[in-house]
């Protein structure tokens, strides 16, 4: 067993749900694997008092982490660190987590963005960083609570190497043992690009129009499609072959989302919180400018959202 200790930092919808599933898996295998949480404020206090309560359309259950801390220095050096914070918190979060990152620690980010793992490798030279992304509709409706809005979800991870490792096989088996739809592909970079196509366009459009996914798609179909077309132009200019049907496939994934749902970036804008604007929209604009590529929709929406 390589991953004797797993720590999850960031217990929103993503980190909370998958952290709970890892606790179920560890309890089921009964080998003494430890699952720890890093959480803050009222969320940490609620979990300490009554556990982390998971609501899904088909079941409700409560889990109790083996250890829970607001200060990572209270936890041991971990074998696997799963990062599920917001991307705007990445650098600050890594600084706080350095006490639990050792030379043998593997870091797996589940953050939104096209170059998150590259950012982490710069912040953590010499540390093994995997790539990861998830497809899930989950959120934290209250302290100590996680709501999975639809049973469908997907957890994708990999080490960006041509051969699969024993560590990857271990995590895959652990996740699958409790029904997580986990995938460990040979080329995860392609899947991360595909997800970025959807989440960047969705987050930018819903935030700009201040609408749900369904409203933005029905009331502004040309602009929502245009965002995807501009993204495809960018990735093509970067040398990636997205396929002739990339725009249609991305639109199909958008329509697969719950129409009444919205992007997490839009939710943050609505509540006046820090947002992932720079990683989801600004990255596109700045990369295009560096290439001399004009993306008028992204430029207009990015400018307006920055002012907001």
pLDDT value of position 60: 95
Residue with tokens 């190497």: 161
Could you tell me the pTM of the whole model? 0.89
Please give the helix or strand (H or E) that residue 37 lies within, else none. Answer: strand 34-38
Where are the chain's structural domains?
A: 5-186, 190-307
**Tens digit of each residue's pLDDT, the chain (308 residues):** 999 999 999 999 999 999 999 999 999 999 999 999 999 999 999 999 999 999 999 999 999 999 999 999 999 999 999 999 988 878 899 999 999 999 999 999 999 888 899 999 999 999 999 999 998 888 899 999 999 988 889 999 998 777 889 999 999 999 999 999 999 998 888 888 888 988 999 999 999 999 999 999 999 999 999 999 999 999 999 998 888 888 998 888 787 677 888 888 999 999 999 999 999 999 999 999 999 999 999 999 999 999 98
For residue range 109-138, list pLDDT tens digits in order: 999 888 899 999 999 999 999 999 998 888
Distance of alpha carbon 210 from alpha carbon 206, whole angstroms:
5
For residue range 33-54, list pLDDT tens digits in order: 999 999 999 999 999 999 999 9
For residue 66, what are the contacts with CB-CB under 8 A and spacing of at least 6? 23, 34, 35, 36
The rounded radius of gyration (Å) of the Cα atoms in the chain is 19
Please give the helix or strand (H or E) that residue 217 lies within, else none. Answer: helix 213-219
Give me the CATH code for the 5-186 domain, please.
3.40.50.720
pLDDT value of position 256: 67
Residue 169 three-state SS: helix
190-307 architecture in CATH? Orthogonal Bundle (1.10)
Q: In what order do the strands lie in the sheet with 128-129?
A: 67-69, 34-38, 5-9, 78-83, 101-109, 128-129
């Amino acid at each position: 067993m390589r991953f004797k200790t797993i720590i999850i930092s960031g217990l929103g919808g993503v980190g909370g749900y998958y952290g709970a599933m890892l606790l179920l898996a560890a309890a089921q295998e009964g080998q003494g694997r430890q699952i720890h949480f890093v959480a803050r404020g009222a969320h940490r206090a609620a979990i300490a008092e009554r556990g982390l309560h998971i609501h899904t359309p088909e079941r409700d259950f409560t889990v109790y982490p083996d250890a829970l801390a607001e200060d990572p220095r209270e936890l041991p050096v971990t074998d696997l660190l799963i990062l599920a914070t917001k991307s705007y918190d990445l650098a600050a979060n890594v600084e706080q987590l350095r006490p639990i990152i050792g030379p043998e620690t593997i870091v797996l980010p589940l953050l939104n963005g096209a170059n998150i793992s590259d950012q982490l490798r710069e912040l953590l030279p010499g540390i093994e960083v995997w790539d990861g992304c998830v497809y899930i509709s989950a959120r934290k409706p209250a302290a100590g609570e996680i709501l999975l809005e639809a049973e469908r979800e997907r957890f994708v991870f990999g080490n960006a190497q041509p051969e699969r490792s024993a560590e990857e096989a271990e995590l895959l088996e652990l996740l699958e043992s409790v029904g997580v739809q986990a995938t460990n592909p040979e080329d995860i970079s392609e899947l991360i690009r595909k997800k970025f196509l959807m989440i960047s366009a969705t987050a930018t459009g819903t935030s700009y129009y201040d609408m749900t996914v369904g409203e933005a798609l029905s009331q502004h179909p040309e602009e929502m499609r245009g965002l995807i077309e501009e993204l495809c132009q960018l990735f093509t200019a970067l040398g990636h072959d997205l396929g002739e049907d990339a725009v249609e496939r991305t639109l199909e994934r958008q329509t697969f989302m719950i129409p009444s749902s919205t992007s997490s970036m839009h939710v943050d804008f609505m509540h006046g919180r820090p947002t992932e604007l720079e990683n989801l929209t600004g990255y596109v604009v700045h990369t295009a400018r560096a290439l001399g590529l004009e993306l008028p929709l992204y430029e207009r929406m990015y400018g307006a959202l920055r002012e907001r």
